[in-house]
Amino acid sequence: MNFLRNLLAAILGCLFAFGIIFVMFFVFASLFGGSEDAVVVKKNSVLELQLQLPISDYVGGSADDPFASFYAESQGLDEILNAIVVAKDDDDIKGISINNNFILAGLAQTQAIRTALQDFKTSGKFIYTYGDFYMQKDYYLASVADSIFINPVGILDFRGLASEVLFFKDLQEKTGVKMEVIRHGKYKSAVEPYLANEMSDANRTQIKELIHSLWTSMVEEIADGRNILPKDLNIIADTLGGRTPEFAKASGLIDEIVFHDQYEEKLKFAVDSVLDKDLNIVLLEDYITRSNKKIKTTGSNKIAVIFAQGEIIYGEGNASMIGQGMMNKAIIKAKEDDKVKAIVLRVDSPGGSALTSDIIWREIELAKEVKPVIVSMGNVAASGGYYIAAGADKIFAEPTTITGSIGVFGVVPNVSELAADMGINAEQVGTNKNSVEYSLFEPMDDTFRSVVQEGVESTYQTFLQRVAQGRNKTMAEVDSMAQGRVWSGVDAKRIGLVDELGNLNDAIEEAAKMADLKEFGIKKFPRYKTGIERLMEDMGGVSASAKKSLIEEEIGVEAYGILKQVKSAMEQKGIQARMPFALDIK
């Protein structure tokens, strides 16, 4: 009897708990789900851009998901751009205020937001920006504004771009934990930090040329926005001519030095508001709720936009990792949907598993037989990221996109020296000569190294074939621009790795043109987990994002970044088509 009584109590307890969860769900849904009217935009309002979260190309959220905001680890670039487009024609929005410090976005994403703001200005509405400090990407974005304001004790960083690469050769020797590497490509320097203590000439050359191209693109747009000659901007950078607010104003980098309350007064003047009344500010995250409901869905015909973002891994994949499971399901869905007339693949990836890249490449080839496939490159579409893009009918890249890196390598961890120091000896027994393929506790032998090298060479040749076929070039032509070298979007267009410079909208318009569509809607893929699904998962333990925050808080952001680099290298399986270095541009 006691057993049955306890069992019944447990069942009733579970039912009661689930009941509470569902009641909470509907309460939150009613509070936060809302309707379009829940976001009130008064007349003479200013849309305020405070880009405080990391920016991803796509977060996959739904405007009707009441729990989405609770799991907002990033902002969707697609939603930000759409909000700016909607605000341009919104009679209640009189202008935009960029009130931001330290934008957490890649250079190409920042460029895309800047381009959207440039288009917003064609409506005749104003853009003002205020900052306590401007880092270089912040200032690059701010330079689109009609007027730039800075705090009297603020800082403006304008010195040119630089890149830092960490080297681990000595660390390996001191710890006895070694990374055995096999590569193809003189520029394929992802493995260089494990082989040397300093940068090779080839690597130094490609990084120097890459950041010079990116800087040139930035300077040209800043020059246009601030009406300063590019050569004068470089002089300002060389002399640190913006290092104080006074110097920044004298150099023409900013317009006025004011406190934030004075900035608000200037916004009131700009919207013809009465000075003793509150300024009508609409926050971007609130306005997105409104603008998401105004996405153009003209006509029954659709263009599918498939987002491929993150490192490429073998497996299902998720919102921050590209796996063949989730990605191929999305491509097949778009291919088989009769309403979808063209596909745009948005790629933001430094690469990863060569096998997964080829599996996705094949699915794109099959889709291309049915309908046009266009690629839009984001911050990075390199190595495996370029691999999956290579077969598209047409490729678009931002001028500041980092792409190319056509090369492969293999990385195998080895702890034999550490094991020997600790007194650990591993013995293997096998049935055949090569049945024990590789042991972490034994030095890599020549036979195993030659087998891996053979795999690397074979994968590299396959990579070249895929690119040559997709870009209508000879193998020799592709090899001359490959060898693992990375290129900016501008240089990639010059050598024929991409077709056009443009953003995601440009790629969508080209897809519509190729499909002969005058009216169309957008259908986004893949589907990520909803807020309620993630809530149910996290009830079982600490979420991955919470763990990340705890580690970052304990060891610091920079140390966490180094830890991620080392951990990523240790976890790499199979032959890799990956960016040649972890690029930290400052």
pLDDT at 401 (0 to 100):
97
d(CA 295, CA 561): 36
Cβ atoms 569, 576 nearer than 8 A: no
d(CA 306, CA 319): 12
486 DSSP β-pair partners: 404
d(CA 395, CA 378): 11
pLDDT at 272 (0 to 100):
81
- Could you confirm whether 548 is annotated as catalytic? no
- Could you confirm whether 383 is annotated as catalytic? yes
Query: How many distinct helices (H) and strands (E) make up the chain?
Result: 22, 24
- Report CA dihedral (512, 516, 517, 522) to the nearest 10 degrees: -30
Distances (CA, A) of 354 to 311, 384, 462, 573: 11, 6, 10, 10
Cβ atoms 84, 127 nearer than 8 A: no
- Work out the mean pLDDT of the chain and round it to a whole number: 85
Distances (CA, A) of 124 to 95, 146, 149, 585: 9, 11, 20, 35
pLDDT at 156 (0 to 100):
95
Enumerate residues 6+ apart whose C-beta is below 8 A from 579: 190, 350, 351, 380, 382, 383, 385, 402, 405, 486
Cβ atoms 505, 118 nearer than 8 A: no
Q: Which of 376, 383, 405, 488 is catalytic?
A: 383
pLDDT at 58 over 90: yes
Taking only the tens place, the pLDDT of each residue in 195-240 is 888 888 888 888 999 999 999 999 999 999 999 999 999 999 999 9
**What token pair was written down for 315?**
């497996």
Give the domains, in start order, of the chain with CATH numbers: 37-159+240-293 (3.90.226.10), 296-585 (3.90.226.10)
Q: Which of 94, 188, 302, 341 is catalytic?
A: 188
Task: Compute the Cα dihedral for 482, 488, 493, 495 and give only its sign.
Answer: negative
pLDDT at 563 over 60: no
pLDDT at 372 over 60: yes
pLDDT at 104 over 60: yes
Taking only the tens place, the pLDDT of each residue in 387-403 is 999 999 999 999 999 99
pLDDT at 121 over 90: yes
Cβ atoms 406, 478 nearer than 8 A: yes
Cβ atoms 530, 273 nearer than 8 A: no
Cβ atoms 468, 478 nearer than 8 A: yes
d(CA 273, CA 503): 36
